[in-house]
Amino acid sequence: MKLTTLAVAAVMAASPVMADLVFPSLSYRTGPYAANGIPFADGYEDYFTLLNERDGGIGGVPIKVIECETGYNTEKGVECYEATKGEGALVYQPLSTGITYQLIPKVTADGIPMHTMGYGRTSAKNGETFSNVFNYPANYWDGASHAINHIMSLGDISGKKIALVYHNSAYGKEPIRTLEELSKKHGFELMLVPVDHPGQEQKSQWLQIRQQKPDNVIMYGWGVMNQVAIQEAANIRFPMENFIGIWWSGSENDVLPAGDRANGYKALTFHNLGDDYPLYDDLRKYVVDAGKAAGAGDQLGTALYNRGMYAAMLASEAAKTAQELSGDVNLTPAMMRDGMEALEMTEAKMAEIGLPGFGPEFKVSCQNHGGNGLGAVAQWDAAAKKWSLITGYEGSDQDVIQPLIDEDSAAFAAEAGIEAGCK
């Protein structure tokens, strides 16, 4: 009898607590990329803590965040997924393109949605092929187009030479095809400059840039590669206003080591920066001052904290949508997926949350898991030590990007034996 009781108790303890809404956080607080992983993870968790403390969760159901350390290592990321998916996980956000690629078939088979905001497999925007993967509000190819659009907004791009300094990995190579197409369309010369992991030494690359004198440099970097690139650009006196990074090359971590010399550096973003929003008052009151912050509470308003917080906000809004659609406050991963597919972010909704103008408006659908692809350009003010948006949220060149998405997703569907379509 005792054994039976024990066995039942053990099974109950091992079972997911269905009353909670479970959001795993595949974070990296250790290793070479920890400085970037920590603020994102803090922002992600703090937003859910705020909802628990202020609102009692989402729709009255408490939120449970399960954090698992990946160390930005793909194998560990997959282990984290396997270890947490049985806990009732509603959505995964692995913050790594490498982990994303490994998880795409797994989440599809397990029926759990995955959100890869501004990273991962770009063609996952095609929801008819990638039923469980979402990459709203913008993707790598949108980013490449935003950068070119910004350069064009400052003058004629025809005949110019534009260098792409990129992390020599699947992530860094993502924009090449888009930029090649855009170079044909707009008549600029594309110069490719790969940097091997981790990017601690980039003398050759920046000598090449100094010798070949490109007019503009676009960077797709991550971690130490960003800091070294900005230092080296300053060393060769490359004009910072002509140097623009993707959103993963646009955190305070990337520019602070170069000091004043980083002044004027630009980076793309799909959300706003700083902490001048009503929501941050609540974050301080209910989370930081209450001693419930995930970290030291000193990252609020930084680019990566805001991104993590924004990711959590989009997840909670999708969960609310799922609750409305299903009429049930307790969600399954399938309901969450449907909620993500029906998500619509409007300015009115963001203002109500306490984040007016924080992100672009967009609408997700079965055909379009990537939103509208809107993005903005931010510029670093070294004296004030802050980023400021210098453009509004603007569109990307869908005439170039959409055919590439269709082509890549069709290739994936053929390879994986997927019958594309909306169910």
Residues forming the site for other proteins (CB under 8 A): 29-35, 38, 168, 192-198, 200-201, 203-205, 207-208, 210-211, 223-224, 227-228, 231, 234-237, 253, 256-257, 259, 261, 291, 296
Taking the complex as a whole, the smallest distance from the CB of residue 264 to other proteins amounts, in Å, to 16
Closer by beta carbon to other proteins, 289 or else 352: 289
Q: What is the DSSP string of 316-359?
A: HHHHHHHHHHHT-SS--HHHHHHHHHT-EE-HHHHHHHT-TTSS
> Are 220 and 167 contacting, i.e. CB atoms less than 8 angstroms apart?
yes
CA distance 253 to 282: 26
**Other CB atoms within 10 Å distance of the CB of residue 33:** 20
- Interhelix angle for 203-212 vs 224-235, to 10°? 40
Question: CB burial class (10 A; 0-12, 13-18, 19+) of residue 10?
Answer: exposed
Taking the complex as a whole, the smallest distance from the CB of residue 210 to other proteins amounts, in Å, to 6
CA distance 354 to 221: 32
Closer by beta carbon to other proteins, 23 or else 248: 248
Query: What is the torsional sign of CA 159, 160, 163, 164?
Result: negative
* Adjacent-strand bridge partners of 194: 166
Closer by beta carbon to other proteins, 231 or else 326: 231
Tokens read off for 173: 């190579």
CA distances from 340 to 108, 201, 301, 306, 325 (A): 15, 41, 26, 20, 11
Taking the complex as a whole, the smallest distance from the CB of residue 259 to other proteins amounts, in Å, to 7
Question: Under the phi-then-psi rule, with left for phi > 0, alpha for psi from -120 to 50, and beta for the rest, what region is 373?
Answer: left
Tokens read off for 191: 């110069």
CA distance 126 to 402: 9
Closer by beta carbon to other proteins, 74 or else 226: 226
CA distance 418 to 222: 32
Taking the complex as a whole, the smallest distance from the CB of residue 180 to other proteins amounts, in Å, to 14
Taking the complex as a whole, the smallest distance from the CB of residue 165 to other proteins amounts, in Å, to 10
Length of the chain in terms of residues written: 423
CA distance 169 to 248: 14
CA distances from 132 to 10, 75, 104, 352 (A): 32, 21, 8, 28
CA distance 323 to 320: 5
